[in-house]
Structure 1
Amino acid sequence: MDCFSGWCITDRLVLKTVSNPGGSWSSAGLRVFYPAGGVLIFDERRLCLFELEVELIELRIRIADKLKELRESIKGQANYGGRIGEVVMKEREARQRFMEWQHRRVEALEELAKRKG
């Protein structure tokens, strides 16, 4: 194996080595991140972060629907099986953090575009 990478952030290129003359190309790139394409590569396995993000949003939609359904059907004082439910953060803080993330993301993408253009 001529190419081995433990962790690589790439702008498109992943180096590979021909496994044998006339054979297929292979790599031992353990972890590769291609931000522009939203892809994480672990050896030859790919994880599409763009699809993952959409699936997580869809999961949150299903959770919201089920919570509404459960709130209508659960009655009594022990809604959490006798445990105390703790709020991770207030809605306002969550919205603020989300908006800040969106703003910082746009700024970072604009800065990246300047360097590429």
Structure 2
Amino acid sequence: MQGLGELEALVMDVLWRSTEPVRVRDVIDGLDDDREPAYTTVMTVMDNLHRKGWVHRQRNGRAYWYEATRSREEAAADGLRALLESTGDPTGVLLHFVRGTSDVESKILARGLRERGKK
């Protein structure tokens, strides 16, 4: 995910898979890779994510409980928008992308545009 370090992305993956707020220990237990980072390392990463606006935290007793501030899809769309803006020619990039879409992708894009018009 654009704008995230490797461990930050792994932490966000745990948060996005969770249906409720989680503690640092829950994140460590939920990491998919073989490494088990130190508790303080994950706590620092989650504090950084909070400062960057990726997560919301609420104190419950002695621990903070964390949850993502936006869905994985919203974060990906924000990253795509930032990437397009950084190219200097977002129109050209979008047109190039659309010309190369599959039939299924084209139908999804058309559906999104129809839904956008209904707002």
Give the number of the structure whose residues are more often helix, by fraction.
Answer: 2
Give the number of the structure whose residues are more often strand, by fraction.
Answer: 1
Shorter-chain TM-score bucket reads under 0.3
Q: Give the TM-score normalised by the residue count of structure 1.
A: 0.27
Q: Give the TM-score normalised by the residue count of structure 2.
A: 0.27
- State the structure with more CA Rg: 1
* Higher relative contact order (CA closer than 8 Å, sequence separation 6+): 2
